[in-house]
Amino acid sequence: MQREPDFVPPALTTAQKQPVSAPKVAATLEELNSDAAKKVYRKRLTSSEIRLIEVHPGGEPSAVQCSTFIVPKGDLPDYEALSYVWGSQDDPKTIILDDVAWHVTPNLYCALLHLHFSDRSRIIWIDALAINQTDLEERNEQVKEMSAIYARASSTLVWLGEATDDLVVRTFEFLKFYSEFPETFRRIWRDQFTTEDTSFKIGTVSMMNRVFKLEYWKRIWIVQEILFSDKILLMYGQYNLAYDEFFACMREICAVLANPPEHLEAVFPEAHSLVALAQSAILRISEVIPACGAARHGKHMSLREWRTAQLKRSTDRRDKVFGYYGCFHPSIQKQISVDYSKALPEIITPMMRLLLQEEGLDMMFGPRMGYDPNYGIPSWVWSLMEPASVPDMAQCTISNLVDKNPGNWDAGGSRSSVLNFSEDGTMLHVKGKLIATIEATSPSFSSPPRSVSNDFFTLDQSSADLDFKTLMEYFRLAWQSLDLLPEFPSTLGFITAFWLGPTSPVLSELANWLSAGGSGSLGTTRMEYNSQVIDNLISIHFSRRMFYFMPAMMNPSTDPIVRHIQGQIDGETGLGPEDVAPGDKLCVLRGCSVPVVLRQEQDQYIILGEAYVPRAMCGEAILAAGEEEYEDFWIR
């Protein structure tokens, strides 16, 4: 990454000088346990100690009694580590900890009920009990040690929750039954399974996919806990199976259905659905489910991978950095200060500087989740706001589609990014080029202005092979089954993918339906699609608003590769961030693959997000002006 000499940035405005901390979430359990904590945590842990929990035996299923004890790291007994999600703090339950009443979340309480033996004690490391959550100094030190704690444990117990979902229960029973077969019998069983009725096979694969909907997989902390554990037991209520065995069996079964035979459509009409479901399970096992013990064998999380993991949930937004601390290479860990006394801007801004310097300007986009000025976070830094819901596959499929850049976009030209920062690190300096000032916008996919033709997109047609149809059916199934349509109501790419299948509406018909706010009905016409165009559209995966502008310097391209999609209005149209407004600036930045929308505030800018402009995605604006004609932009 090229670096420029330091520049003198424009003066800060008064509003910028004093960043504010995020509003504090009410710590219900901390308040309930405040008096008891003084008796339980009489001594602060040193950096060379950890606290373990002894779960006492008991015959009463409703009574859980535990005690704490401190041990030096150099003299650890055999212990297990619990990996779970805290869950809701509503309706807290009570256990006995060091002879005092202690409140825990219902999910932890259920786990402890299933973990305590009737005839002997059990030694477990449990974060909610082993760390004094009210002591920031102890909390900071212990969070940095969590990866080592899981690595040293004799085994990790993954608590998926109480056995309340019959489909997940049946999956555990089914995979345990399958896992007990010798390999020869497994092969015979798989051969017989392929001859079963299609609806039975779809039901079986759908049942196994249900496991990925559990809340456990959507949380941040479980990633490092699994990556550093060599031996893991999956627990769902009273059902359990070894982690590696569980997913290896699932992969074996799905693999026999993931590769469709020739002339699949003629075999049975649900072929694409079955193949897509099987591929979905395999993809999730490969990319969503953390690999058991991978970090112990030299695999570290890169900054790019950290970017794609931001849609996982955390109660405290700071944990979107701290929760992955142990996963990073030591060279990155040295640049992170685990300190819960710091406000969110002090934590995420340095991480973003590091990410942009290492990976380039494209890293601003993806899981940004919106600019949030109320938190004092610069617009080029992710605010890390929690989504309304977290898709099962958010941490791989959604983000990786952008990383693949299927259209080979190069809006900012062929030269690499040149960037630096203001002295206080809050402003980003980049080179770029103004394309136009946005003149008008329409509500997100509502009726466009009257001067805009209804048929505002045309699409080159090309034949699509079976693999592409299967891919499209996979997307359609994924977004439908995960209820993602309400979550991304104005995303052309996702809605397009949602509707594609062997028989689907033509794109212009779909566009008209979208422009009418989704009212009315869609016909189904058999249609072949240009896979590169659809890949491009799928990559635009955040809420979008249509905008209109008169190009300052752009001429229509005659290159058919460039002109996959053409605007059919006077002037030009594009898709931009939801909060784009007339007067905002459409720009390309050197080294950034997509155009951006900036909002000018005096001599500085706020970045609203990325944009899609049909005739600017491949560097046309830069070529028209010349690559030497970049301008300076200070983004705060």
Residue 256 has pLDDT above 60, yes or no: yes
Q: In this structure, what token pair is assigned to residue 565?
A: 């999609």
CA distance 51 to 69: 6
Q: In the chain, pLDDT over 90 holds for what percent of residues?
A: 36
- Structural domain contains residue 3: no
- Structural domain contains residue 9: no
Helix axes 531-539, 492-499, angle to 10 degrees: 130
Residue 483 has pLDDT above 70, yes or no: no
- Structural domain contains residue 380: no
- Structural domain contains residue 488: yes
Residue 492 has pLDDT above 60, yes or no: no
By mean pLDDT, which of 404-413, 422-431, 588-597 is the weakest?
404-413
Q: Are residues 481 and 438 in the same domain?
A: no
CA distance 99 to 130: 16
* Average pLDDT, integer, range 33-46: 93
- Structural domain contains residue 159: no
User: Among residues 266, 292, 318, which one ends one of the domains?
Assistant: 292
627 — pLDDT class (breaks 50, 70, 90): low
> For the chain, how many helices (H) and strands (E)?
22, 20
E strand or H helix that includes residue 354 = helix 344-359
* Average pLDDT, integer, range 597-611: 90
Q: Which residue has the higher pLDDT, 36 or 482?
A: 36
Residue 154 has pLDDT above 70, yes or no: yes
Q: Are residues 562 and 526 in the same domain?
A: no
**CB burial readout 371-401, b (16+ within 10 A) else e:** bbeebbbbbbbbbbbeeeebbbbbbbbbbeb
Residue 16 has pLDDT above 50, yes or no: no
Residue 497 has pLDDT above 50, yes or no: no
Mean pLDDT, all residues of the chain = 73
Residue 508 has pLDDT above 70, yes or no: no
What phi-psi label fits residue 591: left (phi over 0), alpha (psi between -120 and 50 degrees) or beta?
left
pTM, full prediction:
0.74
- pLDDT for the residue 39: 94
- Structural domain contains residue 574: yes
463 — pLDDT class (breaks 50, 70, 90): very low
Q: Which residue has the higher pLDDT, 75 or 628?
A: 75
Q: Which residue has the higher pLDDT, 506 or 548?
A: 548
Nearest in space to 494 (alpha carbons), one of 538, 536, 534, 543: 538
pLDDT digit string (tens) for 92-140? 999 999 999 999 999 999 999 999 898 899 999 999 999 999 899 999 9
Q: Which residue has the higher pLDDT, 95 or 307?
A: 95
Q: In this structure, what token pair is assigned to residue 511?
A: 């566009």
Q: In this structure, what token pair is assigned to residue 552?
A: 């300052």
- Structural domain contains residue 393: no
Q: Which residue has the higher pLDDT, 397 or 636?
A: 636
Residue 430 has pLDDT above 50, yes or no: yes
* Average pLDDT, integer, range 242-270: 73
Alpha-carbon distances, residue 634 vs 7, 400, 403, 427, 607 (angstroms): 10, 29, 26, 7, 10
Listing DSSP states for 256-323 in one string gives: HHHSPPTTHHHH-TTHHHHHHHHHHHHHIIIIISPPTTGGGGT--B-HHHHHHTTTSB-SSTTHHHHT
pLDDT digit string (tens) for 553-576? 444 444 443 333 333 334 567 777
- pLDDT for the residue 60: 67
Residue 249 has pLDDT above 60, yes or no: yes
By mean pLDDT, which of 195-204, 445-454, 501-510, 585-594 is the weakest?
445-454
Helix axes 271-283, 466-481, angle to 10 degrees: 70
Chain Cα centroid distance, residue 218: 9
User: Among residues 292, 322, 349, which one ends one of the domains?
Assistant: 292
Q: Are residues 195 and 286 in the same domain?
A: yes
Q: Which residue has the higher pLDDT, 218 or 523?
A: 218
Q: Which residue has the higher pLDDT, 513 or 373?
A: 373
Q: What count of other Cβ atoms lies within 10 Å of the Cβ of residue 262?
A: 7
Q: Are residues 143 and 54 in the same domain?
A: yes
- Structural domain contains residue 610: yes
Q: Are residues 252 and 312 in the same domain?
A: no
Q: Are residues 284 and 180 in the same domain?
A: yes
Residue 22 has pLDDT above 90, yes or no: no
Q: Are residues 82 and 208 in the same domain?
A: no
Q: Are residues 190 and 64 in the same domain?
A: no
- pLDDT for the residue 614: 66
Q: Which residue has the higher pLDDT, 405 or 436?
A: 436
Specify the pairing of strand 631-635 against strand 545-549: unpaired
Calculate the dihedral angle through the C-alpha atoms of 174, 287, 302, 376, rounding to the nearest 10 degrees: -100
Q: Are residues 420 and 473 in the same domain?
A: no
- pLDDT for the residue 375: 73
Q: In this structure, what token pair is assigned to residue 124?
A: 């477990």
* Average pLDDT, integer, range 427-431: 95
Q: Are residues 66 and 139 in the same domain?
A: yes
Residue 416 has pLDDT above 50, yes or no: yes
Return the HEC string of 106-143.
Answer: HHHHHHHHHHCCCCCCEEEECHHHHCCCCCHHHHHHHH
- Cβ neighbours of residue 295 closer than 8 Å, sequence gap 6 or more: 147, 151, 224, 227, 228, 326, 327
* Average pLDDT, integer, range 144-166: 96
- pLDDT for the residue 282: 76
30 — pLDDT class (breaks 50, 70, 90): confident
Q: What count of other Cβ atoms lies within 10 Å of the Cβ of residue 35?
A: 10
- pLDDT for the residue 414: 75
- Total domains in the fold of the chain: 5
For tokens 């949030």, name the residue: 372
Residue 487 has pLDDT above 70, yes or no: no
pLDDT digit string (tens) for 376-404? 889 999 877 654 443 333 322 222 333 33
Residue 435 has pLDDT above 50, yes or no: yes
By mean pLDDT, which of 161-170, 336-345, 377-386, 464-473 is the weakest?
464-473
Handedness of CA 522, 526, 530, 532 (dihedral sign): positive
CA distance 109 to 93: 6
Residue 596 has pLDDT above 60, yes or no: yes
pLDDT digit string (tens) for 278-299? 776 776 777 667 888 888 888 8
The parent domain of residue 517 ranges over 449-542
Maximum alpha-carbon separation in the chain: 80
CA distance 574 to 468: 26
Burial of 491 (0-12, 13-18, 19+ CB in 10 A): buried
Q: Are residues 124 and 67 in the same domain?
A: yes
Residue 306 has pLDDT above 90, yes or no: no
Say which DSSP state 2 is in. B
635 — pLDDT class (breaks 50, 70, 90): very high
